[in-house]
A and B are shown apart, each in its own frame.
Chain A
Amino acid sequence: GQQVMQIPQYQHVQEGEDFTTYCNSSTTLSNIQWYKQRPGGHPVFLIQLVKSGEVKKQKRLTFQFGEAKKNSSLHITATQTTDVGTYFCAGLRGGKLIFGQGTELSVKP
């Protein structure tokens, strides 16, 4: 079926280290969205990428959309304890949003 693969499933880092999660689709996506879900909370929209090769930044977060519009990444520079949570990518394909499995980030102070 339709899938958007996201890796890794879990990532444990020391505060101050960088973190990256990757998202891959076997088919071209119209756009890709990223969400963050804090422990016990609900997903909250972070950003949307639409153009091939697009790069967007939000403070310490950098989002990329691949040239072929099949993959994306989220990179966090110098993680902080406030970054903990699960990060989901979601690809828009055929009018439906397909979520990746999420990457759960834990940050050790």
Chain B
Amino acid sequence: DGGITQSPKYLFRKEGQNVTLSCEQNLNHDAMYWYRQDPGQGLRLIYYSQIVNDFQKGDIAEGYSVSREKKESFPLTVTSAQKNPTAFYLCASTPDRLDTQYFGPGTRLTVL
């Protein structure tokens, strides 16, 4: 069953802790993306990667880091430098950067 998986669905962390969100796809897509969704603000791009071992900052990259060691995987680390990390995080992939995006189910992160 092809698609994008994100885990976990809900995540709770204490303030000051780094946390890594998982994103895996078996669609053989080249490009992968991380978005943050806050109520009433739509989706904002954090990082994106068009090929393995390469990634670029999006509009709100501060306090986040990513890696793309494998085509299938694009994990996002929310660091303690992110001032307001509580949000819904969505991972997406596309066959190429100009194509439509396939979204994962999302991870809802709450920092206590």
A residues within 8 Å of B by Cβ? 1-2, 6, 9, 30, 33, 35, 41-45, 48, 88, 90, 92, 95-97, 99-102
Contacts and interface: CB of A to CB of B under 8 A. Distances in A.
B17 interface: no
Nearest to A96: B45
A101 B48 CA distance: 20
Nearest to B59: A1
Tell me if B's interface is mostly helix, strand, loop or mixed: loop
B100 A48 contact: yes
18 contacts: A1-B59, A6-B42, A33-B101, A42-B105, A43-B43, A43-B90, A45-B101, A45-B102, A48-B100, A90-B101, A92-B98, A95-B98, A99-B42, A99-B43, A99-B44, A101-B40, A101-B42, A102-B42
Contacts of A43: 43, 90, 101, 103
